[in-house]
Homo-oligomer: A and B are copies of this chain.
Amino acid sequence: MKYPKALEDLIECFSKLPSVGRKSAERFALHCLMHLDEADVIDFSNAFIGINTDINICPECGNICEGDSCIICKDNSRNHRQILVVEGIKDLFTIEKINNYNGIYHVLNGAISFSKGITINDLNINSLVEKVKNNEADEIILATNATLEGETTARYIKELLNEYNVKITRIAHGLPVGGDLSYADEMTVLKAFEGRREY
């Protein structure tokens, strides 16, 4: 026996979400069917239409925006000559939460990955290179993840921008605040050791 087609369609949609397998997708779809009221289901449907129609990608930095450029790029009180490079939009929001950064961003929308076949050409990088070429930036802060992909991407961008007159920095990696040295993995301890400063 198969599920009705309408339900099967919804299960298939849910299966496209990250780390959602067939079983979870079934659970989500059945929950929507049995436990959400009609208005909630309509809201869900409209929310998808909403992201298609109401959200754009800022051509300046790759952030999401409602108009034609994002509120960070529009904000003249921010330092437009300091550019923090992140892999994804979620990372941008994470940095914004610390309420301590006043420059602008550049969202790569991914990272170089040999295993997934993602090269520099698949990333949003050209507008950043252009800005540096045109001497529109003083500092590029590389805040890609501390993973193989993130490190590779950071190094690649450094190579790419090295010939221009711009300061390139990398965010610090080390022990997380509140972290216990004995529980930290070796790479983190190594990074913490290498990055030690005078106290």
Interface segment among A35-43, A129-137, A150-158, A177-185: the answer is A35-43
A34 within 8 A of B: yes
User: Contact flags (1/0) for A28-57 with B, using CB distance below 8 Å?
Assistant: 111111101010111111111111111100
B-contacting residues, A43-83, CB 8 Å: 43-55, 64-66, 71-72
Structural contact, A43 and B1, CB atoms closer than 8 A: no
- When the two chains form the complex, which single residue of B4, B47, B53 contacts A9, counting CB atoms closer than 8 Å? B47
Structural contact, A33 and B55, CB atoms closer than 8 A: yes
A171 within 8 A of B: no
Question: How far is it, in angstroms, between the C-alpha of A20 and the C-alpha of B90 when the chains are bound?
Answer: 17
Q: Count of chain A residues with Cβ under 8 Å from any Cβ of B?
A: 52
In the assembled complex, which residues on chain B have CB atoms less than 8 Å from the CB atom of A29?
51
- When the two chains form the complex, which single residue of B13, B28, B43, B48 contacts A17, counting CB atoms closer than 8 Å? B28
CB distance from A77 to the nearest CB of B (A): 14
Structural contact, B6 and A90, CB atoms closer than 8 A: no
Residue in chain B with minimal CB distance to A1? B96
A93 within 8 A of B: yes
A113 within 8 A of B: no
Question: How far is it, in angstroms, between the C-alpha of A66 and the C-alpha of B8 when the chains are bound?
Answer: 12
Structural contact, B43 and A52, CB atoms closer than 8 A: no
Structural contact, A66 and B4, CB atoms closer than 8 A: yes
Residue in chain B with minimal CB distance to A96? B1
A16 within 8 A of B: yes
CB distance from A59 to the nearest CB of B (A): 16
**Which of A's residues lie within 8 Å of B, judged by CB?**
1, 3-7, 9-10, 12-13, 16-18, 20, 26-34, 36, 38, 40-55, 64-66, 71-72, 88-90, 93, 96, 109
